[in-house]
Amino acid sequence: MRYIDHILQPGETVAFTTTLHWIVYLPAIGLWFLAFVALTVGAAAGPVALLVALVSALAGLGLAFAAWFRRWTTEIDVTDRRIVYKRGFIRRHTVEMNMDKVESVDVDQSMLGRFLNYGDITIRGTGVGIEPLENIGAPLEFRNQVTAR
């Protein structure tokens, strides 16, 4: 069961849910590509290429697991009353902001981010702001859900 389902107030509904974009897997994919190149191109190099491929593949596996776990334990929700950001599994970090307190939602996207639909979001509120949320999927839709109220 998701975190937001536990904390919804009576009559409150979820308008939009997102999480980290799959781009967080890119470092692992890069290491797996390096392992593939080391195995195919470096086959003539012998045991050194095999060692590089093995180390790259294992490091890529570790990075992929860390990215999956971070993505799995991060929730970003917009309800009709507030914005809820939760990350963590055992040690949980949550930030909530009432919609009445939101002044602006800033979206930063690189060219690749625009193409793949991910970016960084900064929510500015009266007196306090939510920390920048990095590599969020569908950031423009998130902004539209918040500012359309």
pLDDT per position as a tens digit, 78-129: 999 999 999 999 999 888 888 888 888 999 999 999 999 999 999 988 877 7
Indicate the average pLDDT of the chain. 90
Residue 27 pLDDT: 96
Rounded-to-integer distance, Cα 87 and Cα 64, Å: 17
Residue 26 pLDDT: 95
Q: How far is CA 75 from the centre of its chain?
A: 9
Decide if pLDDT at 130 tops 80. Answer: no
Residue 132 pLDDT: 84
Please state the φ and ψ torsions of residue 106, each to the nearest 5 degrees.
Answer: -95, 135
pLDDT band at 41 (very low <50, low <70, confident <90, very high): confident
Residue 99 pLDDT: 87
Residue 40 pLDDT: 87
Rounded-to-integer distance, Cα 61 and Cα 63, Å: 5
pLDDT band at 55 (very low <50, low <70, confident <90, very high): very high
